[in-house]
Amino acid sequence: MNKIEHIGIAVKDLNASIDIYQKLLNTDCYKTELVASEFVNTAFFKTGDNKIELLQATSPDSAVAKFIEKKGEGIHHVAFLVDDILAEMERLHQEGFVLLNESPKKGADNKMVCFVHPKDTNGVLIEICQEIKWI
Ligand code: CMX
């Protein structure tokens, strides 16, 4: 795996949180994106080489809504960039990790993504992601 691509933070109110993180990081949010398939609205910040993704649920059934209900707002996942998501999914499967999707799915910010169950990774939801390359 390569670097940490971003850290995802679950929030209740995306606009209020955008204001907070703009002040905190002293930089503007560079992108907001609805990921309808995941029932989340997202906002992205870059600070140096690092990225933060804020996530607000769009439905009470969404993973983010359930997370906030159980644990409150906070770090929801850590995402690692990979070169070959299919190969990395196969490697993780062989290592015994439970993958939460059988094939890569379209995530936010032009990525294909796959999640690893937090029960297998000390309570931290792990995302692996690969940049989608348009030919
Ligand atoms: N981080 C750490 N633990 C988490 C978690 C998270 N983000 N989400 C849930 N959990 C915990 C639950 O609190 C629960 O713990 P306990 O058993 O101690 O109560 C445990 O994981 C399992 O919970 P569950 O009730 O069996 O399952 P959930 O319905 O809560 O689903 C999960 C959990 C991880 C399987 C589900 O959220 C999932 O599939 N996530 C992947 C997709 C996703 O998160 N999408 C949103 C982000 C999209 C984006 O980044 O664009």
How much distance in Å is there from the Cα of 122 to the middle of ligand 1? Answer: 13
Model confidence pLDDT, tens digit, residues 54-92: 999 999 999 999 999 999 999 999 999 999 999 999 999
Residues lining ligand 1, Cβ inside 6 A: 8, 35, 38, 40, 42, 55, 63-64, 66-67, 70, 76-77, 100, 107-108, 115, 117-118, 123-125
Q: Quick one: pLDDT at residue 126?
A: 98
ipTM > 0.85 (yes/no): yes
How much distance in Å is there from the Cα of 134 to the middle of ligand 1? Answer: 31
Model confidence pLDDT, tens digit, residues 19-64: 999 999 999 999 999 999 999 999 999 999 999 999 999 999 999 9
- Look at residues 66, 84, 67 and name the one whose alpha carbon lies nearest to residue 76: 67
Q: Quick one: pLDDT at residue 56?
A: 98
As a whole number of angstroms, the distance between CA 115 and CA 108 comes to: 13
Q: Which atom of ligand 1 is nearest to the CA of 53?
A: 50
Average pLDDT in the chain = 96
pTM of this structure: 0.96
